[in-house]
Amino acid sequence: MAPHYKLVLTTCENQDDAHQLAKQLIAQKLAACVNILPGVESVYMWQNEIVQQTETKLFIKTKADKISKMIQLIKELHSYEVPEIQVLDVNAGNLAYFHWMDEVLN
């Protein structure tokens, strides 16, 4: 299977922001499903300082043809100046799940 399906990772400052973003992604048919994991501890460098922060992680399931619009929407709605947006190829999995994604994202 070609990497037709994608998993997009991002973080939000809190659960409210994560829920709002997830609902917009679903409503605009840019994502079939978004898993929201609260309480993720992040440590990173920002403006020459080490930052330790609790964030909410999003695992976004989508298709390759949705990525450009999704990235644009995340950047527009996100509270961070530089939001994390990582796109991973999905190379195998449950074909029934992928068929469901196809139906949902049409």
Closest CA to 17 of 7, 28, 25, 8: 25
pLDDT at 2: 53
pTM score, whole prediction: 0.93
pLDDT average, residue stretch 69-93: 96
User: Among residues of the chain, what percentage have pLDDT more than 70?
Assistant: 97
Distance between CA atoms of 90 and 1, rounded to whole angstroms?
A: 9
pLDDT tens, residue by residue, 19-53:
999 999 999 999 999 999 999 999 999 999 999 99
Q: In the CATH scheme, what architecture does the domain 5-104 have? A: 2-Layer Sandwich (3.30)
CA distances from 71 to 29, 43, 79 (A): 13, 23, 14
